[in-house]
Amino acid sequence: MRPSLLAAGLVAGLLLPAYATAGPSLLPRGVWVGGQIYAPGSVVQHDGRTWIARQDAVAAGVAPGTNDSWVPLTEPSTVVGARGPFGPLGPIGIPGPFGLVGPVGGVGPQGATGQAGALGPTGPAGAPGAAASGAPTSGRTLRLDRRGRATVPVKGLGRRSIVVLQATAGGARVRVAPVVTGVRTGRFTVRGTPRSSFRYAVVG
């Protein structure tokens, strides 16, 4: 018999003389279980105290302290034991379900200005503007020779005059746009795609 239960028996002998003289012997039964029937003299632990069953058998489910079927042998201890060590870390649980989508956040601050992009390709040349009133223009389409050159006489043309050219359809396919290569008094020279057509206008 364990010392604690032996001491319980001694206390029972002092508190309950009938046990010491004609009562049943002590029957250590450990922790009280609700589904068991306890014979007289059964000693159990319940709710921090030690209890002993009286001479009548205790029915199943009758907990110590609910009626006079049990007699307390000890008072509950008020001493708190030291905390034991932490147990090992348990396994990682399975992921839970995804939560609901939160509300849309506010607009953030404007970012820094990025670097300038690369320069794009040169666009096609626009059509020449309308000639000034009284300025010389070609009344007909002119054509470069087989070497891609032409000299155009213009009455009143000066060295400071500006000549604007426009490639036109009707000649060879233009691979090189016509350009003015020189302006002299009374004439100017042009170079471009051989046998291609053009018109001109004098500005200023």
Q: Is residue 20 part of a domain?
A: yes
CATH number reported for the structural domain that contains residue 37 in this entry: 2.10.10.20
What is the pLDDT at residue 77? Answer: 61
Q: Mark which of 53, 72, 91 sits at the end of a domain.
A: 72
Low-confidence ranges of the chain (pLDDT < 50): 1-22, 131-133
d(CA 25, CA 192) in angstroms, rounded, equals 132
Q: Is residue 83 part of a domain?
A: no
What is the pLDDT at residue 174? Answer: 83
Q: Mark which of 47, 72, 97 sits at the end of a domain.
A: 72
What is the pLDDT at residue 5? Answer: 44
> Is the Cβ–Cβ distance between 42 and 57 less than 8 Å?
no
Q: Is residue 134 part of a domain?
A: no
Number of domains in the chain: 2
Least Cα distance to 189 among 203, 200, 174 occurs for 200
What is the pLDDT at residue 62? Answer: 85
Q: Is residue 114 part of a domain?
A: no
Whole-prediction pTM: 0.34
Which domain does 10 fall in, by range?
3-72
What is the pLDDT at residue 23? Answer: 53
Q: Mark which of 49, 72, 95 sits at the end of a domain.
A: 72
Q: Is residue 98 part of a domain?
A: no
Neighbours of 176 (CB within 10 A): 13
d(CA 58, CA 73) in angstroms, rounded, equals 17
What is the pLDDT at residue 64? Answer: 87
